[in-house]
Amino acid sequence: MYYLIEENLKKCSAKECHSGQKQYVAVLTPDEWAKEKDKFEMGIDIDFDTIEIYNTKAEVNYDSVTGTFSIPDRSNMVDYKDFAYALDEKGIVFIDPNDNALNLVQKISETKKWRMPSLERFIYDFLEQIIKEDLRLLEKFENELDKIDKDVEKDNNPDMDRVNDIRGFLRDFRVHYDNLIDLAQELEENENDFFKEENIRFFRLFSNRVSRLLDIVNSLLDYTSQIRDTYESRLDVKQNRIMTVLTVVTTIFMPLTLIVGWYGMNFKYMPELDKVWGYPAVIIVSVLIVIGSLIFFKFKKWL
């Protein structure tokens, strides 16, 4: 797909794209790029099959800027949308095997109209499409964490597995935002003078916006750590209570066990065995031991 950057993105033919009259946007499959790359005159040889896409980045070459996008799939949060790109002062080419870049470009074509169209403004809107729904998604995560935090406070079976999932997603977003900031700053440097000075501000605006999202992500990561610490402290309290109860029970039954063991020996000359009051006396002593132990533990605030 080929587009010219006018008041909005206008579909065009490959011939119109290469005419050089207006800046362009092209979205090609790896096979199409292999056939058409010489016509873009960027002086680069990107072999998509050998590209290892791990992150979002920009690399400045002699007469072009190349790089890759690795975008977490917001609907899945496990998969990534990967594609490459190359740009110069004439336009930008996305090398996209799975229509990920094409979908973003089509959204811009359908929704954006510019008073002063430019390649810089298109790149800004393209980057904005990537993070468009992120604030809402982060707010959703925050609401989930608030609910889990309340469950922790009320001992209401909090879903700590979900906290771990959200924490993993937030870590991915943190890396993603760091990469986006680096990319925007690399474009803002304008080392090859591809961009007009008055339009550099678009990259700075985007970098500032992503920085704010990154701050939110870091805050939510701290929140997940706080929830986990609170949950673990409550578990420790529960375990301490259980151990206290077991200790109290063990302490109470130790003298009773001694009495049972003592009178279980059945020696012939044990005087209490022949007494009428022997059995009731042992019962009374045992009850007094239990009551005395409970009073002692209550006084020490162990119960």
pLDDT tens for 3-36 read: 888 888 888 888 888 877 888 888 998 888 888 8
3-class SS of residue 197:
helix
Q: The whole model's pTM is what?
A: 0.77
- The DSSP element (H or E) to which 287 belongs, if any, is helix 278-299
What does the DSSP 8-state code read for residue 167? H
Residue 50 has pLDDT above 70, yes or no: no
Which CATH architecture fits 244-299? Up-down Bundle (1.20)
Q: pLDDT of 114-167, one tens digit each?
A: 888 889 999 999 999 999 888 999 999 999 999 988 888 887 788 888 888 889
pLDDT score recorded for residue 63:
81
Question: Residue 17: what pLDDT?
Answer: 81
**Which tokens go with 200?**
């550099």
Which pLDDT value is given to residue 302? 65
Angle at which helix 201-263 crosses helix 278-299, to 10 degrees, equals: 160
The pLDDT assigned to 46 comes to 62
Work out the end-to-end distance of the chain between its first and last CA atoms, rounded to an integer number of angstroms.
75
Give 302 or 67, the one with higher predicted confidence.
67
What pLDDT is stored for residue 303 in this prediction?
64
Q: Which two tokens stand for residue 152?
A: 């922790």
Q: Which CATH class is domain 1-132?
A: alpha beta
Question: Which of 126-130, 161-165, 214-218, 253-257 is least confident?
Answer: 253-257
d(CA 269, CA 43): 111
Closest CA to 42 of 195, 196, 194: 194
Mean pLDDT of 157-184: 89
Q: What are phi and psi of 199, to 5 degrees?
A: -100, -5
Domain edges within the chain: 1-132, 244-299
- The two domains 1-132 and 244-299 share their CATH topology (first three levels equal): no
Alpha carbons 156 and 54: distance in angstroms, whole number: 40
Average pLDDT over the chain reads: 84
**Residue 234: strand, helix, or coil:** helix
